[in-house]
């Protein structure tokens, strides 16, 4: 026979377990929002490059603090915030490479631009290698892109060009939607700078 105090303890445990189960059934976890960077068309018509030139974009390297699913922001005091519920839809390096690829294709007037991992598409003659030093910002202010990039010819170790860019793009829409749009705009400006430098070298 179960003693009254033991029976009371068992009853209390079962009640607590039931409450936890009900909370799990009725409670709703916050929903995460997912974002992706977007390509930006060239502002006007461009003369096509030589058909012999084929460009690989990448590798793209990013700081360790950006190598995560969550979007990272930075305030004026260089304090980093990780947005748990605002996330990238895919790896940030891949998204940056894809956007630069699309942007450079329109700015250089050629279809022979691809991420370096797609080498099976066509033989690459040149590589645009990108090291991101900073790619963050604040949803209520601006996006900041600080990057060093180089242009190399396939099979040659020494770079043909090495450039540094620091680009700031204002946030014009509220929240993380506006921040990601500003980051896309910063990548568009970087793409324009790379395309112009490539054209000057190719003359």
What is the pLDDT, as a whole number, of residue 85? 94
**Averaged pLDDT, 1-8:** 51
SS3 117: helix
Select the more confidently predicted residue: 7 or 96: 96
What is the pLDDT, as a whole number, of residue 59? 95
**Averaged pLDDT, 135-151:** 96
- Name the strands in the sheet holding 33-35, side by side, starting at the edge strand that comes first in the sequence: 33-35, 80-88, 70-74
> SS3 helix, strand, coil % of the chain, rounded to 5?
35, 30, 35
Select the more confidently predicted residue: 27 or 187: 187
Whole-angstrom distance, CA of residue 85 vs CA of residue 59: 28
Whole-angstrom distance, CA of residue 81 vs CA of residue 139: 11
Whole-angstrom distance, CA of residue 82 vs CA of residue 65: 9
Q: Locate tokens 């963050």: which residue?
A: 136
Q: Which of 20-34, 37-51, 100-114 ranks highest by mean pLDDT?
A: 100-114
Interval 25-34: pLDDT, tens: 555 678 999 9
8-22, 124-138, 158-172, 175-189: which has the minimum mean pLDDT?
A: 8-22
18 pLDDT higher than 80: no
Q: Place 197 in a pLDDT band, splitting at 50, 70 and 90.
A: very high
Whole-angstrom distance, CA of residue 148 vs CA of residue 98: 18
CATH placement of domain 33-202: 3.40.50.10610
Interval 146-159: pLDDT, tens: 999 999 999 999 99
61-70, 72-81, 191-200: which has the minimum mean pLDDT?
A: 72-81
DSSP category for residue 169: E
């Amino acid at each position: 026979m179960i003693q009254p105090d033991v029976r009371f303890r068992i009853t209390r445990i079962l009640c607590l377990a039931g409450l936890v189960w009900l909370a799990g059934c009725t409670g709703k976890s916050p929903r995460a929002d997912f974002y992706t960077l977007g390509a930006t068309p060239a502002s006007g018509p461009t003369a096509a490059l030589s058909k012999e030139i084929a460009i690989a974009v990448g590798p793209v390297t990013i700081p360790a603090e950006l190598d995560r699913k969550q979007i990272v922001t930075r305030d004026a005091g260089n304090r980093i915030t990780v947005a748990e519920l605002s996330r990238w839809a895919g790896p940030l390096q891949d998204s940056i490479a894809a956007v630069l690829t699309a942007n450079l294709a329109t700015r250089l007037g050629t279809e022979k631009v691809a991420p370096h991992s797609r080498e099976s598409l066509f033989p690459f003659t040149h590589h645009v290698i990108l090291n991101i030093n900073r790619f963050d910002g604040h949803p209520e202010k601006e996006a900041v892109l600080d990057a060093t990039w180089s242009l190399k010819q396939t099979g040659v170790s020494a770079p043909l060009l090495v450039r540094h860019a620091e680009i700031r793009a204002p946030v014009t829409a509220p929240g993380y939607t506006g921040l990601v749009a500003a980051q896309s705009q910063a990548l568009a400006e970087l793409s324009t700078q790379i395309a112009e430098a490539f054209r000057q070298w190719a003359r």
